[in-house]
Amino acid sequence: MEFLPQQNRKGAGDAVANQILATGKHVVIIGGGDTGADCLGTSHRHKAASIQQFEIMPMPPPDRAPHTPWPLWPLQLRVESSHEEGGVRDWSLATTCFTGDERGNVKKLHAVRVGPPPKFEAISGSEFTLDADLVLLAMGFTGPVRAGLIEQLAVKLDARGNVATDESYMSSVPGVFVAGDMRRGQSLVVWAIAEGRKAAEGVNEFLAEKA
């Protein structure tokens, strides 16, 4: 929320005080989505010393995954122009902590390799550290918070940690319906609106059968 807007303002010709620059720095981008790719491209423009981009999710397949056929949004590896310019991409990694100097500047990133979602369990013996002068947080939505309602209801989750539903948008618990980000993961608001309407139809049919 700071790094990219500052660069946009500078690109528009505005004066930017105290701009965050990647120039000559070891940059680590946490997050493998579109925002992370934008951070990567901007870091290239700044001529960073090195750039690494981490993602907690497993590496997607090179081609569309069979369980995401059209018209679903395909699960597959995407290579943006910023990736083609360079940098190191890695998957199934979780940051555990940062260490820095006496002035409060970050100098090291500590991470560990993790297993698949939804648990992302740390893999013993896979811990490592690397130089990091600038850390850019571009983390997205990895699934609904399970502590609380989801655990209390004991609804089933899909492979990505979202609440699994049938074609009527009902979860594994009869009478509990789910739509939007909780069902499909992070997406556009138009999908949330459309799914909300479809879930409402499912609720209506469910109640009509009970009447």
Class of 3-137 in CATH: alpha beta
- Count, in order, helices (H) and strands (E) of the chain: 6, 7
pLDDT in tens, 105-147: 999 999 999 999 878 999 999 999 999 999 999 987 767 888 8
What is the per-residue pLDDT for 31? 92
Contact 26, 19 (CB under 8 A): no
What is the per-residue pLDDT for 72? 82
What is the per-residue pLDDT for 210? 84
At which residue do the structure tokens 């790719």 appear?
37
Domain ranges in the chain? Answer: 3-137, 149-210
Least confident of 54-58, 82-86, 162-166, 183-187: 183-187
What is the per-residue pLDDT for 173? 96
pLDDT in tens, 33-64: 888 999 999 999 999 999 999 999 999 999 99
What is the per-residue pLDDT for 103? 93
Beta bridge partners of 55: 91
DSSP the chain: --HHHHHHHHHTT---TT----TT-EEEEE--SHHHHHHHHHHHHHT-SEEEEEESSPPPPSS--TTS-TTSPP------HHHHH--EEEESEEEEEEEE-TTS-EEEEEEEEB-STTT-PBPTT--EEEE-SEEEE-----S---TTHHHHHT--B-TTSSBP--TTSB-SSTT-B--THHHH-S--HHHHHHHHHHHHHHHHHHHHHH-
What is the per-residue pLDDT for 75? 87
Mean pLDDT across the stretch 77-106? 95
What is the per-residue pLDDT for 118? 77
What is the per-residue pLDDT for 46? 97
What is the per-residue pLDDT for 114? 97
> What burial letters (b/e) apply to 89-102, b meaning 16+ CB within 10 Å?
bebbbbbeeeeeee
How much of the chain, in percent, has pLDDT values that exceed 90?
80
Class of 149-210 in CATH: alpha beta
Other Cβ atoms within 10 Å of 133 Cβ, number: 18
Examine the pLDDT at 186 and tell me if it is beyond 90. no
* Of 142 and 187, the one with more pLDDT: 187
